[in-house]
Amino acid sequence: MRRRHELELMADIRQVKAYVEGDFEKARDFFMRQFQESFGQDICGYVLDLGCGPGNIAVRFARTFLRCIVHGVDGSEAMLSYGKKNVASSEVSDRIQLFKGILPQLSLPTDEYDIIISNSVLHHMRRPAAFWQTIKQYSQKGSRIFVMDLMRPKTTQEARALVAKYSTSDSDVFNQDFYNSFLAAFEVREIHDQLKKAKLGGLSVRAVSDRHLCITGTISA
């Protein structure tokens, strides 16, 4: 099945509300577990969360790794409004800042990050090269990279079946967005080619479930 582009920004209030009200606790648990399996528990330094959305992963990360300072960036003002409320109401708000920005043209308080994370953002990119360009720009030698995203199924029927199996919402808006995200996602081989073109040889991609893939590794130069 050919890839079908999705909107890069989730700016529609109905879409944002449906997303924020969705139950992603298991998915976030899975994200954190996969990160720790890749890099362990001894994590510290400045963290960049690309496409932070409503800030849930940023808060989780700051809670789990007490020696980290997290900077999240997102292009959607609507998402950031939820994110800033989530951060402000958390006990780790002193170690999290959220910024508005569209990849790859960002303005951040730190030039190089020790860790760069991203959850379910890559499939939104019409030009995935801009995503990898951002990672190259804000990383340094030794930076740890962890990107998780959906994986495109073989057929639209399979995509529908995955939505039916894993959706956590009865919202038609949510489920249509979920379906569209599967169609916009990349295959493992496509991301392998992207990494090769971006000259990010220290990173590798693998499937980690029937619907998720992970890109992990350490910047080597």
Share of the chain above pLDDT 70, in %: 97
Please give the CATH number for the structural domain made up of 13-218: 3.40.50.150
Tokens of 125: 């990119």
Share of the chain above pLDDT 90, in %: 81
Give pLDDT tens digits for 3-20: 999 877 676 777 777 676
Neighbours of 162 (CB within 10 A): 18
> Quick one: CA dihedral 13, 184, 133, 142, positive or negative?
positive
Helix (H) or strand (E) holding 30: helix 25-39
Whole-model pTM? 0.94
Give pLDDT tens digits for 177-207: 999 999 999 999 999 999 999 999 899 999 9
Which residue spans within the chain are E strands per DSSP?
44-50, 67-74, 96-100, 115-119, 144-150, 203-207, 212-218
Region of poorest pLDDT, from 2-11, 86-95, 109-118, 165-174: 2-11
Angstrom distance (rounded) from CA 41 to CA 96: 19
